[in-house]
Structures are given as C-alpha cells and as structure tokens.
A and B are shown apart, each in its own frame.
Chain A
Amino acid sequence: MNPILVLLPAAPAGGLIAGAAEAIGAAASIGTPIAVVTGPADALPGLAEQAASFGAARVHTAVVEGAELGAPAADAFEAAARLVQPELVLVPATVEGREAAGRLAARLRAPIAADIVGVARDEQGVVVRHSVYGGAYDVESAATYGPLIATMRLGSIDDRAEAAAPDVQPLEVTASGWRAATIESFEPIAQVSTRPDLRTAKRIVSGGRGLGSKEQFALIEQLADTLGAAVGASRAAVDAGYVEPSAQVGQTGTSVSPDLYLAVGISGAIQHRAGMQTAKTIVAIDRDASAPIFEIADLGVVGDLFTIVPQLTAALEARKG
C-alpha cells in the first residue's frame, strides 16, 4: 500500500499550513496518503476533517498547544513516522513545514530532498524532481535508505486527491521534553482575502524599484486585482518598504511558475529571474531598453510605467465590460 506520510502542522493563524491539498494529492499519485496533523485541542477535529477532505486515507492527530516552538510538534511527527514506517514523508515547504521536516530528519537521520517540484515512482521506488539554480537545471533524486523527507514547493503540483471518509486516529506521543523557544505573541499579516496566494497563483503582477514609492505601488495592486492576479515584488521594492517581504519573488524570495508574470519597473537582475523565469508567459514594462528582463520577456514594452500601467488597467476593465 506504499504509505506516504504528509506532515501538516497547524498554521499559526489557524487552519492547516498552505499546500496541504497539494501534498496529499502528490502523495496519492504514488501511494496511500496518511496525514499527521498537530494543533490546539479545540481546532484539531476540524483540521483532521480538512485533511480527510483533501484525500488523506488516515489522519493521525496530536495536540500541540503552540506556546513552544518546534520540538513538541516534532515529537508528534517522529511518533507518526515510527508508527507508519512511510516510504516518503511529504511536507509543504512553508516556514512551519520546513521546520517540521528539518527536525524530523535530524531525529530519524533520514535524507532530505528540499524544495521538490514533482514526485514519481519507478521500478526502484520513489523519485523526486527538483528545479535547480532558478530553473536552469532539472534534477531527479532518490533515497538510498529511507524514508526520504521531501519539502514540496507550493504551486508546483497539480494532482489533487478525492475526499476520503475521515479515519481519525489520535497518536500516542511521548514528550521528549527537549528545550524549546517560547512564543510570546503572534500577529497575522493583514491579507487582501480576494487576492490569490503568490506561491500558487496562475497570474502574478510584480513591481520593482521603478514604482518609486509605497503610494505609487498601488498601481501594481490595482492592475493585479483587475487581472485576478497575485502581487509580487523585487527585493529592491521590498527593501524600500513598498510592500511586505512575503511578496518578494526571486532567489531568496518565492520561486513561482505562473501562466502569466507581468514585471513592472523591474530590471531583471539574475537573482530576480531565478525566481520567475519558468513562467509560461512573461510580459515586462521598463523604460530602459537594455534592462535584462527583456532578454526573457515574451512581450517587452519600453516606456514609462506611470502612463502604461493606468492605460493597461483601464483597457482590461473595458474589455471585461
């Protein structure tokens, strides 16, 4: 039955961490998805039900109240891995997901495959795919002895599993009592709820230093909303405070592969391209004809963004009727 264990810590803001449906879908494509869900006692039944609705054949649960960072959830993940003896452990590569993966790998001394973009099975077992150096290379890897613990890049896998009838089994966890950091408070980021998540969006409008100010960055938000797109940014725009750090696309931000990537006032530094050059269609607006972004754009427009973007937004609105 090839059990694949999916680690799903609760997100600090509530709900399962992002990427849960994707990870369970990927697991189902090569084996039987078994989820392990951790979270506060009052939220746990809802979280488990959600994991089942994404297709987990079985859901193991463990209460983690969340005042301590890392180690208590790792106790539960370790117990689940020892119980299930999975061939592969899949974890969405969010902040809490990477934390869980790293801690479990240290405890089991098991191999990690980081930031994978695909899973498959061949005669010898599970193979995972990576996109390396900003999409310049496609690499496949496999474990020599397992289980392989893989963190999965969000937005990379289209497989979704059918909902399963909830089979929820509380885990028996022995607390390791390991030293942990204490969480004093949590502040959620105010999200525009109608805007798609950058990591999984099919369309992205990104703004760079060329926007000039936080106020003028609103042009990017308006265009994004007209297109039903997520908002992205270059590191220079983040550093200048035009937009929050989670919007950063690139080498040290989010790696994205949307159907459309519209870059505005972004020169296309190599570290920015590393995070977006696998997009299906790239459109760029920049006043400097020699900006490197034009080397990879399907449509490049040389001109002033402050006249082009409002016109584009209006034209798109007009087409919508």
Chain B
Amino acid sequence: MKIVVLLKPVPDTYGQRVLDLETGLADRAASETVIDEIGERALEAALQHAEQAGDAEVVVLSMAPAESQSALRKGLAMGAASAVHVADERLAGADYVRTAEVLAAALRKTGFDLVITGDASTDGTGGVMAAMLAEMLDAPGITRLESLEITADAVRGTRATDGGTMVVQAALPAVVSVTEALPDPRFPALRGIMNAKKKPVEQLTLDDLPLDEVGAALDETAAPRSIMTSVAERPPRSAGTIITDEGDAGERIAAFLAERRLA
C-alpha cells in the first residue's frame, strides 16, 4: 500500500509572519519556513500505520519553492521512505485551484492508495484542499478525521463536523484530512536525520506532470484567477492597565466591565 502525505512549508507560527505589502504574498525571507505542524501529524498517523501493518510505503509530497526542500527533509527524517517535490517558478502565487490541480497531477504520477493531508494550513487557513483533491481525483474524500484506521482496502474514522462527530468510511483509493486531535508528531531521531540524507527526493516541474489527467491546462499559469487588490498592516495592539491582585481584583474587574457596559 502506498500512503502519500501532503506537507506544506509555511512561515513558522512562533515567529513574526510578514506579508509583502506590494504583492500581498508571504515574505518568505522574513520568517523561518517550517513544515506545517498539522502535516506532521498526518505523517505521524501514516508512519504509525506503516510500522504496524508492515506493508505500507509512506511518501511525502510538497508543492513549494525550491529553497523549501529542507522542510521536506524533515518528513524523511521522521521516517517517510521518499519525497516528491514539485517546484516551478511558474507556480509562484498559485491559487487554490492551481495548487489542487498540481497536487492532483503529482498524485496521479506518483500513484496512491491513500492521501492524508492536514485539515487546514496555518497560513492559508482555507480548509478546502482535501475536498478539492477528492473531486479532481474522483476519489472518496473524508475531511477532518480525529482518528483513523487503515485496512487493506478501506479507511475509517471519526470525523469532527458541525455540531457533532460522525463515523465515516471509504474504500481505497481515498483522500482524507486530519485534525489536531490526532497524536503529536514524533521528533526525528539522530539516526533518522542521517538516513534522510540518503533517501530519494524526486524533483518535478510542471512539465513533468500529467496535468491533462486532472482536467488542467499547462499554459493557464499566466492568468491568476484572483488578485489581491489591497494589503494594509494593522497597528499592533498596546497594553492597557495592569494591576496586581490585592484581594479585591474580582470586584475591580466587575467594576471595569460595568463601566464599559460589558456586564
């Protein structure tokens, strides 16, 4: 069985994330690039299954600028067998549809029984990619799994949805996304980091992808479907009054709230 995990390099949420005020795109130089944590959780789930089942191969896939490759290496250090990296200058500023087309075409090329992604990235926060990929690949899709169980021909789990949870199952090949309720990802061990250097990373450009198989055209890259029309930075918030409790802090907060008509 081949499990492909999608990893997205994103600006580290622990740092100051900066938007370029001219282009509206992430200023990648301003902050460190890391694999989005939710992707690491997806990978952890895949690796745990592979360790138990024995017959599963785990591949990590990213569409990201060439310089993001070190982030992909972390996936290999955690235990993935190989990586596929789609990097192409024509993809700078790619929108959701373009990104989904490229990932879907790369998945067609790589082949898969199961695709696991995070439910939403910390930079885009869209939460739509798994559903788009399911459509483009004509595969059953399950978003927001809080637990997952993989068998030889199916995937099953609990899905966190609006107002409750549902138990859902799909025949493979399938596309699923996972939430933060899944276990924390492992830290790569030193041996894993050393081994990662020897593992294969397949480099692909748009020209290598069977875009026609997912209904996409190659020459379309020139025309973005949507554009930023303005970008403005908000002034940072400043601190107000800080008091230390002298036995009456509860009363003082109540008075503050009453004064502002918040209670």
Contact = CB atoms under 8 A, between A and B. Distances in A.
A101 interface: yes
Interface in A181-236: 181-189, 191, 203, 227, 235
Given A141-B226, A312-B254, A260 B239 contact: no
B92 to A, nearest CB: 16
Interface string B207-245: 000000001100000011111111111101111111111
A182 B228 CA distance: 38
Contact of A283 (B122, B181, B230, B253): B253
Contact residues on A (Cβ < 8 Å of other chain), bracket: 35 or more
Interface stretch (B43-51, B82-90, B159-167, B192-200): B159-167
Interface in A140-182: 140-145, 148, 151, 178-182
A133 B101 CA distance: 25
Main secondary structure of the interface of B (DSSP, over half): mixed
B75 interface: no
B243 A302 contact: yes
A105 interface: yes
Contact of A144 (B38, B133, B225, B256): B225
Interface residues of B, number: 89
Given A11-B163, A300-B239, A182 B170 contact: yes
B124 to A, nearest CB: 6
B191 interface: no
A115 B126 contact: yes
A251 B162 contact: no
Interface in A277-300: 277, 281-283, 285, 289, 294-300
Contact of A111 (B97, B125, B161): B97
A139 B135 contact: no
Contact of A259 (B19, B251, B262): B262
A259 B257 CA distance: 11
Given A245-B160, A300-B243, 14 more contacts: A99-B128, A111-B97, A112-B95, A139-B232, A187-B164, A189-B164, A203-B262, A289-B244, A302-B243, A308-B245, A312-B254, A316-B254, A316-B257, A319-B263
13 contacts: A70-B131, A94-B162, A103-B134, A106-B133, A109-B97, A111-B225, A136-B234, A180-B141, A252-B180, A281-B262, A302-B245, A311-B251, A316-B257
Interface of A: 11-13, 17-18, 69-71, 74, 93-96, 98-99, 101-103, 105-107, 109-115, 127, 132-133, 135-145, 148, 151, 178-189, 191, 203, 227, 235, 245-246, 248, 251-252, 259-260, 270-271, 274, 277, 281-283, 285, 289, 294-304, 307-316, 319
Interface of B: 13-14, 17, 19, 24, 37-38, 95-97, 100-101, 120, 122-136, 138-144, 146, 160-171, 174, 179-181, 215-216, 223-234, 236-245, 248-254, 256-258, 260, 262-263
A-B interface, 3 closest residue pairs, ranked by CB to CB distance from nearest: A311-B250, A303-B245, A102-B131
